[in-house]
């Protein structure tokens, strides 16, 4: 297998609004959508669309949302043999997106907090070239990630996301030291290191990460290990939900295809730019055949 994902499995409820409301303010809702989500899960779905063999270690509830999350993975060609279904509620992410594509996100973890790993999960991950993992809500899940990384032989790809705002750098250092590639945005770098994206990236590289990639929104990305800036293609912004997850999919696709760093960054930008052209984290994800047309 090329990439195995580990992370929260959520069902996203997306509200397109006129603007994101301030406290006490009433704002109209333009549209309502629902779709599977979760940061690492979005990246794995993106990699599957790009033709890579993928699987996932995760947990969903025995509700309708859990069935939809699993069914969507199956439709994308993701192996779900290590996705558990248990009694309880699937994680929910409530996203509010304004007309400029900016968003606010509220997450209820549901049964994600109950996920644990066993020897079969370790063997499963060890048979992949990469394990891609992202943030959970609880400290217990963070320890679970550390245990898996210490036991698996796979290269580690890490997109910490909300962990940067919940934990201090020292708590994440053991994971960073194990990483082949780390994906962060500008705000996450500053929250984690107290520095801007260039100095902050150096801190993370000095901590042991082999590659450090910062997504810069409209400015594209910065590949710190080679000091490369990559501008994105022009794109219509409908919804930025999942843009970073999509970027990680494109970048990892490039790594697994043996591309150089510049092309990996270009592929990350292409996949992210495609993603933000539609509502939700997955509808805009391209297929491998689309990459030539997109850039």
List the chain pLDDT tens, one digit each, 295 residues: 999 999 999 999 988 888 888 888 888 888 888 899 999 999 999 999 999 999 999 999 999 999 999 999 999 999 999 999 999 999 998 888 887 777 788 888 899 989 989 999 999 999 999 999 987 767 788 888 888 888 888 999 999 887 667 778 888 888 899 999 999 999 999 998 999 999 999 999 999 999 999 999 889 999 999 999 999 888 888 878 889 999 999 999 999 999 999 999 999 999 999 999 988 889 999 999 998 777 6
Domain with 290 in it: 3-8+40-90+116-294
Pair of tokens at residue 267: 């592929």
In this predicted structure, what is the pLDDT of residue 27? 83
**In-domain check, residue 193:** yes
b/e per residue 126-136 (b: at least 16 CB within 10 A): eebbbbbbbbb
* 111: in domain: no
Q: Identify whether 28 is part of a domain.
A: no
Residue 167 lies in a domain: yes
Question: Is 282 a member of any domain?
Answer: yes
* CA separation for the pair 279, 270 (Å, rounded): 17
Domain membership flag for residue 79: yes
**Inter-helix orientation angle 197-206/186-193, to 10°:** 60
Within a domain: 23: no
Which helix (DSSP H) or strand (DSSP E) does residue 36 occupy? Answer: strand 29-37
Give residue 5's pLDDT.
96
Q: How many domains does the chain have?
A: 1
CATH code, domain with 153 = 3.40.1190.20
Has residue 29 been placed in a domain? no
């Amino acid at each position: 297998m090329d990439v195995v994902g580990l992370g929260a499995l959520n069902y996203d409820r997306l509200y397109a609004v006129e603007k994101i409301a301030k406290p006490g303010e009433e704002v109209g809702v333009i549209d309502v959508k629902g779709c599977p989500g979760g940061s690492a899960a979005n990246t794995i779905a993106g990699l599957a669309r790009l033709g890579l063999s993928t699987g996932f270690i995760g947990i969903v509830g025995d509700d309708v949302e859990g069935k939809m999350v699993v069914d969507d993975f199956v439709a994308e060609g993701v192996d779900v043999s290590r996705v558990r279904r248990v009694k309880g509620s699937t994680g929910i992410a409530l996203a509010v997106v304004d007309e400029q594509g900016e968003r606010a996100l509220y997450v209820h973890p549901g049964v994600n907090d109950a996920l644990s790993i066993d020897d079969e999960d370790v063997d499963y991950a060890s048979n992949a070239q990469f394990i891609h993992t992202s943030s959970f809500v609880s400290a217990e899940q963070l320890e679970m990630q550390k245990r898996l990384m210490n036991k698996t032989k796979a290269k580690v790809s890490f997109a910490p996301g909300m962990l940067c705002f919940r934990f201090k750098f020292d708590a994440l250092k053991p994971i960073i030291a194990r990483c082949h590639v780390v994906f962060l945005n500008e705000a996450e770098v500053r929250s984690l290191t107290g520095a801007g994206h260039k100095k902050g990236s150096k801190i993370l590289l000095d901590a042991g990460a082999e590659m450090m990639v910062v997504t810069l929104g409209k400015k594209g990305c910065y590949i710190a290990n080679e000091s490369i800036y990559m501008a994105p293609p022009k794109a219509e912004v409908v919804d930025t939900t999942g843009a970073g997850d999509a970027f990680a999919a494109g970048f990892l696709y490039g790594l697994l295809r043996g591309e150089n760093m510049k092309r990996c960054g270009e592929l990350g930008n292409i996949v992210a730019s495609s993603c933000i052209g539609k509502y939700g984290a997955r509808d805009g994800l391209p297929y491998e055949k689309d990459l030539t047309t997109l850039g």
